[in-house]
Structures are given as C-alpha cells and as structure tokens.
C-alpha cells in the first residue's frame, strides 16, 4: 500500500480517487446490450450469458425442484448460521416500521401519510469469484417485511450453469418469488424491460461491478428506480495508537479480497501504527486464498498520515466511504462529526465483517462517494410514502380563500376555479339555510 504523509488539501481529490472507469467508458457497452434485450428478449439474455459466463443454458429459470435439491447440499451448520443472521437482520429492519402519521393542519383539513410496499422489486446478487448469499438476506428480508408482492432475484450462473446452493437456500428462506440464472448488464436489462420469462420490476436493488452499476443508472432513464449506485466495495479506517495493527490489517484485507477494483484506506494520526499495519498486511495477505485479488486491490489503496483528528475527519468526509471503521481513543469526535459514510463500525471489536453478515445492519451501501447523498438499503427502500387528505365543508371555507389568492397570483385560473365553484355552492347553501 502507498504511504502518504501529511497531504495538503489541494491534493486530496487526487489521492482519494477511486480505481474505477468512468461512466463514459462503460455506457456504450451497456446501451448496446439494453437495446438488444429490448428487441430480442430472452434470446439476447441467453447470448450474453453464454458470452460472459461461459455457459449455454436450456432455461434461465430456477425450478422449485432445483431449489429443494440445492438446499440439501447446504451443510446444516451453515443453514443454522444463515438462520441466525436472518433473525438479527429481520429484528433490525422490522424495528424500522413506522405507523401512520395524521394531523389536522386546520379545522376541517385532515392530512396523513402512510407507507405502502413497492409491488415488484428485482434483487441483483453478485456471483463471479464470490457468490454473495449474504446479499440475499440483506435485500430479501426487508422486501419481505415491507410485503412486496413480487420479489425477483437474478444472479449469474457458475460454469456448471448453476447458482450456489447457499444463494438458493437463502432465497427460499426469505420469500423470494422467482429466481433467474442471469447476471451482469443483461440481468439489469431483463429486470428493466421484462422478457418472455423475466418480469419487469419497478425498482432494482443490489451491488455489482462497474458494469452492473452503470446498467442500474441507465435503467433509471427507462422509468425503473434503483436503490443507489452500489459498485466496487470500499473501506476507510481511522485509527490511532489505541488501535491494534493486526485488527486494522485484517479489516483492510477483508474488503480488499472482494475484488481487484476494491479500495481500502487507513487514515491515522500515528506514523508508528501505519508502519505496523503495513507490516501486518504483508504478513496476513500471504495466508489468503484470494491473495492475488487482494494484492491488486491493495495496489489501489492508501495509508495516510495526518497531523490531527480534525484533518482526518475533514478528509474522511471528503471521501465519503462506503464502510467506515473508527478505532480511536476519542471515538465520539468521529461519531458526532461524520457526515458522509454508508455504515459506521465503532471500536476494536467491531469488524466490518459483522455488518456484512450477521449484526443486523444492511450491507448494501452507497460507494464511490455517493454516501454524500444516498442512504444504504433499509426498510424504507422497499416502501413508498403516500400522502392523503380529506377536507370537510368547514375546512374548505377555512383555506379556500388562501388557495384562490395563491392560484390567482400564479396565473392558474382553473386552479382557482376548482375552489371558487365549491365555495360559491357552500356559501349559497349557507345563505339559503339562514
């Protein structure tokens, strides 16, 4: 990892640059595949599955028989671990439910807000070098709690044309309604437009590589919502001499092994800690089965020394990390001051891996600096807030003139008339009665 000492603020944007291609580099490829799927549906989907995943499928649908057969191949201990993680994730997301909010803004004017589920959602589960069955839990559980009617899952098949049995076990456990062996850009296209087999959905969720991220962004041009631009994984750790170097190194490597385009950063006010972490990384990385992947990610990563906590915090907020670990003596300073981060992990005994799997928080988070404006996936991601109002005769008499004056000032006569015609009826009726 590159060690950077006391960088000046003018250099921060260059130092903190992500190792990703620009949207322009990828968008032409995505657009071409989208257009092919629009025209040719499943035929195009199958063509790209053969090209990118190296497998020729007779069908991209996962049958109920295949699901039940796959479940038998998941070890019992792992099944129990997945169920325990499900309980924690379920508890945290169920606690996010809110009740109807009702208020009389004026006598006779009642307004309220309710949340209703998004009816059709698509869940993208990355496969590739590491089939992320944990992401099934993170997306399907809140979708199920929200009561989404159709929960469609897409994930790329392996070289045998199958999905990992753990993915199928988790999907069945969490109420997924349809499962397809489709990955990459073609999966996002299928969920966006619908095909002969893949249903069109209203919102697409899930992380992915740079191509999947751009495909999701392009899907919004066709009226499909997305959770966020969630691309290659990233982690930033802030630490001082209160931290343990071996712990920090293990956290950095835990994200580096996700993919070659992952990025990990350590920001520290301690030069000695930086040196110790650097040595620990060299030691620990040699023991990893995914050493080659981690090494390429580490090459894109940084160890940054800054002079004080305030500079560290300013740099971190400028970066806006997906995952943010705080291992400092003055942890409250960072807890209170962090403005831009997807998910925060506090203390020496809170590894980021806990949030990835089983503590209960969601691991589908904004990357590439999008934490400055986006939240991570939560229960509300699967819900729509709808507002209602009911106005009585008294209520319209109370606010009618206000509406008329405002509509008239904007030059919208029909808006004014919609109130005036009612007020005239109410006033004439009132006069007749009196």
Is 410 annotated as belonging to a binding site?
A: yes
Is 415 annotated as belonging to a binding site?
A: yes
From residue 315, give the alpha-carbon distance in Å to each of 4, 267, 341, 398, 419: 13, 9, 12, 53, 54
Burial class (CB in 10 A: 0-12, 13-18, 19+), 63: exposed
Q: Which of 260, 280, 322, 352 is catalytic?
A: 322
> What is the distance in angstroms between the CA of the first residue and the CA of the last residue of the chain?
86
Is 363 annotated as belonging to a binding site?
A: no
Is 124 annotated as belonging to a binding site?
A: yes
Q: Token digits for 418?
A: 């919609």
| H or E stretch at 387 | strand 383-391
Is 93 annotated as belonging to a binding site?
A: no
Enumerate the β-bridge partners of residue 268.
239, 305
Q: Give the separation between CA 23 and CA 114, rounded to whole angstroms.
A: 37
Is 343 annotated as belonging to a binding site?
A: no
Is 258 annotated as belonging to a binding site?
A: yes
CB atoms within 10 A of CB 35: 12
Is 196 in the active site?
no
Is 186 annotated as belonging to a binding site?
A: yes
Q: Token digits for 164?
A: 């990992």
Contacts of 137 (CB under 8 A, 6+ apart): 82, 85, 86, 89, 170, 174
State the residue for tokens 């903190």: 16
Is 352 in the active site?
no
Q: Which of 280, 323, 352, 363 is catalytic?
A: 323
How does DSSP classify residue 174?
T
Can you say which residues are annotated as belonging to the binding site for Zn(2+)? Answer: 255, 258, 356, 415
Active site residues: 322-323
Can you say which residues are annotated as belonging to the binding site for NAD(+)? Answer: 124, 186, 209
Can you say which residues are annotated as belonging to the binding site for substrate? Answer: 233, 255, 258, 323, 356, 410, 415
Can you say which residues are annotated as belonging to the binding site? Answer: 124, 186, 209, 233, 255, 258, 323, 356, 410, 415
């Amino acid at each position: 990892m590159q060690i950077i000492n006391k960088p000046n603020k003018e250099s921060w944007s260059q130092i903190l640059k992500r190792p990703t291609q620009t949207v322009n580099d990828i968008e032409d490829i995505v657009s071409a595949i989208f257009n092919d799927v629009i025209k040719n549906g499943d035929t195009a989907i199958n063509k790209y599955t053969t090209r990118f995943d190296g497998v020729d499928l007779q069908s991209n649908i996962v049958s109920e028989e295949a699901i039940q057969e796959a479940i038998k191949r998941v070890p019992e201990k792992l099944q129990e671990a997945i169920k325990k993680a499900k309980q924690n994730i379920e508890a945290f997301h169920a606690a996010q439910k809110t009740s109807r909010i009702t208020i009389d803004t004026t006598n006779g004017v009642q307004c309220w807000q309710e949340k209703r589920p998004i009816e059709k959602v698509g869940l993208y589960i990355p496969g590739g070098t590491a089939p992320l069955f944990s992401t099934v839990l993170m997306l399907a559980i809140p979708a199920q709690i929200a009561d989404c009617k159709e929960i469609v899952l897409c994930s790329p098949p392996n070289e045998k044309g199958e999905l990992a049995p753990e993915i199928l076990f988790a999907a069945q456990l969490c109420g997924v309604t349809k499962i397809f062996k489709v990955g990459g850009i073609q999966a996002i296209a299928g969920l966006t437009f619908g095909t002969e087999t893949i249903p069109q959905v209203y919102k697409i969720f899930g992380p992915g590589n740079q191509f999947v991220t751009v495909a999701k962004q392009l899907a919004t041009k066709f009226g499909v919502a997305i959770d966020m631009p969630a691309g290659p994984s990233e982690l930033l750790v802030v630490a001082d001499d209160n931290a343990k170097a071996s712990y920090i190194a293990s956290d950095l490597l835990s994200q580096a092994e996700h993919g070659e385009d992952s990025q990990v950063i350590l920001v520290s006010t301690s030069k000695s800690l930086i040196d110790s972490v650097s040595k620990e990384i060299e030691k620990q990385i040699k023991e990893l089965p995914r050493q080659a992947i981690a090494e390429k990610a580490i090459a894109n990563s940084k160890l940054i020394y800054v002079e004080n906590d305030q500079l560290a915090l300013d740099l971190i907020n400028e970066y806006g990390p997906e995952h943010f670990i705080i291992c400092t003596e003055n942890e409250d300073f960072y807890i209170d001051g962090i403005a831009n981060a997807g998910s925060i992990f506090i203390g020496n005994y809170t590894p980021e891996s806990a949030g990835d799997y089983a503590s209960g928080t969601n691991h589908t988070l904004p990357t590439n600096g999008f934490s400055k404006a986006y939240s991570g996936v939560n229960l509300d991601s699967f819900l729509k807030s709808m507002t209602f109002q009911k106005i009585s005769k008294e209520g319209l008499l109370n606010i009618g003139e206000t509406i008329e004056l405002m509509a008239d000032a904007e030059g919208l006569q029909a808006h004014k008339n919609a109130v005036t015609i009612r007020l005239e009826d109410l006033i004439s009726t009132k006069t007749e009665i009196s």
